[in-house]
Amino acid sequence: MKKVPLLPSIIILSFGIFYSLQKFNIELIENQNSWQFILILLGAAFLISGHFDKDNSAILPGILLLGLGLHFLLHAGISGWPDHPAAILFILAIGLILTSLKLKKGYASGILVLITGLFLHFLQSISDSLSVVEGIVPLIETYWPFLLLLLGILFLLFRKKS
């Protein structure tokens, strides 16, 4: 008999619990009826099924969905929570690094995304500290996306063939 994957079962069970709680007005936690909570449930379903099915390819989508759900849920409620694109890059970096830890290869991509996220997160501080060289700062602030494009193209051209 062929083994049935765990993911569809967990997703159906999660949505059954989600809509049952909603239908009977049972509130266990704040914002449990939001689309962000659905992302958290889907991410948890991927992570749980990946763990029990020993499927390492479920780590990245699980972390992305869970992380994005938490990010969008918490950024409205916590005053210091980052609300810029760097936060999404941090979530992606965590997913890539956790996947590479499990696979024991591919660390560079997660670290590269993490460095890019850190750069974007601290971009204003970096540009403020570079105010000594005032002529270059507006140039950097204007054209830094092209630097990312150039780096991405270079990594595509010079990546290792496996």
pLDDT, tens digit, for every residue of 63-121?
Answer: 999 999 999 888 877 777 777 788 899 999 999 999 999 888 888 889 988 988 888 88
Give the predicted TM-score (pTM) of the model.
0.77
Closest by CA to 107, choosing from 116, 117, 115, 99, is 99
d(CA 63, CA 89): 12
Per-residue pLDDT, 127: 67
Closest by CA to 106, choosing from 116, 96, 114, is 96
CB 95 within 8 A of CB 67: yes
**Alpha carbon 156 to its chain's center:** 22
CA dihedral for 148, 152, 153, 157, sign (positive or negative): positive
Residue 145's identity, in one-letter code, is P
d(CA 112, CA 115): 5
- Cβ neighbours around 121 below 10 Å, total: 17
d(CA 87, CA 91): 6
Per-residue pLDDT, 122: 81
Nearby residues of 37 by Cβ (< 8 Å), 6 or more positions away: 18, 31, 69, 73
Reported as a single tens digit per residue, the pLDDT across 128-142 is 666 666 666 677 677
Residue ranges of domains in the chain: 1-79
Residues 101, 104, 106, 111: what is their CA dihedral angle, to the nearest 10 degrees?
A: 40
d(CA 46, CA 8): 9
